[in-house]
């Protein structure tokens, strides 16, 4: 609807219905987000309480309550790989597998395990790269330069001399000379 293209006044009822549908959709989305936040806070509370409990029976009860809240969050459409859920459960992973949870909580635990495996693989790859870098045999010149520059900051500028081919000669002649 624009000034030069006005809406058909005959269709005002359908436009009103469409506006009501959009409003309901937005309210439903806001309500589901509020519900997700509420369940996440509930899961966080029970997880923290479970981590603090020394008595096994109470600890188990708190962790089961946290698991039920996570189960509801995932059944509400949040993916099992959600970062907030994962960060909430990572400190408790050693205590959680012994408990019996539903399929959504199991999916969250599986995603957390995959995440930890991926992090571990990345850390191992970085360690291997560092070992490879330190185990390489350096030439005497490079080792001397390394010792001279230890603890200092240096900027190195290097150039590779171009070959004398015709193509390179043409390319060099196209650039103006800045030498003296």
Strand partners, 5: 2
Q: What is the mean pLDDT of residues 143-167?
A: 76
Say if pTM beats, i.e. exceeds, 0.75: no
pLDDT band at 150 (very low <50, low <70, confident <90, very high): confident
Structure token pair of residue 3: 């000034």
Q: Do residues 38 and 83 make contact, with C-beta atoms less than 8 angstroms apart? A: no
Per-residue confidence (pLDDT) for residue 119, from 0 to 100: 92
Give the single-character DSSP code of 91: G
Which among 56-60, 77-81, 129-133, 137-141 has the top mean pLDDT? 77-81
pLDDT band at 180 (very low <50, low <70, confident <90, very high): very low
Using alpha carbons, list the distances in angstroms from residue 27 to 19, 21, 22, 23, 74: 12, 10, 9, 6, 20
Strand partners, 2: 5
Per-residue confidence (pLDDT) for residue 173, from 0 to 100: 57
pLDDT band at 145 (very low <50, low <70, confident <90, very high): confident
Per-residue confidence (pLDDT) for residue 107, from 0 to 100: 92
* Mean pLDDT computed over every residue of the chain: 81
pLDDT band at 164 (very low <50, low <70, confident <90, very high): low
Per-residue confidence (pLDDT) for residue 97, from 0 to 100: 62
Residue 166 has pLDDT above 60, yes or no: no
pLDDT band at 120 (very low <50, low <70, confident <90, very high): very high
Residue 126 has pLDDT above 50, yes or no: yes
Q: What is the mean pLDDT of residues 16-32?
A: 82
């Amino acid at each position: 609807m624009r000034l030069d293209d006005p809406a058909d006044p005959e269709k005002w009822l359908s436009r009103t219905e469409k506006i009501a549908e959009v409003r309901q959709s937005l309210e439903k989305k806001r309500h589901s987000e509020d519900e997700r936040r509420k369940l996440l806070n509930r899961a966080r509370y029970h997880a923290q309480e479970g981590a603090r409990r020394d008595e096994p029976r109470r600890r188990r009860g708190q962790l089961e309550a946290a698991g039920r809240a996570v189960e509801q969050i995932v059944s509400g459409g949040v993916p099992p790989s959600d970062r907030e859920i994962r960060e909430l459960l990572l400190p408790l992973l050693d205590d959680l597998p012994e408990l019996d949870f539903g399929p959504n909580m199991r999916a969250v635990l599986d995603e957390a395990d995959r995440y930890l495996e991926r992090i571990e693989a990345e850390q191992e790859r970085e360690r291997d790269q560092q070992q490879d870098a330190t185990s390489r045999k350096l030439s005497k010149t490079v080792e001397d330069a390394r010792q001279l520059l230890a603890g200092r900051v240096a900027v190195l500028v290097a150039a590779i001399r171009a070959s004398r081919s015709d193509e390179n000669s043409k390319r060099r002649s196209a650039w103006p000379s800045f030498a003296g």
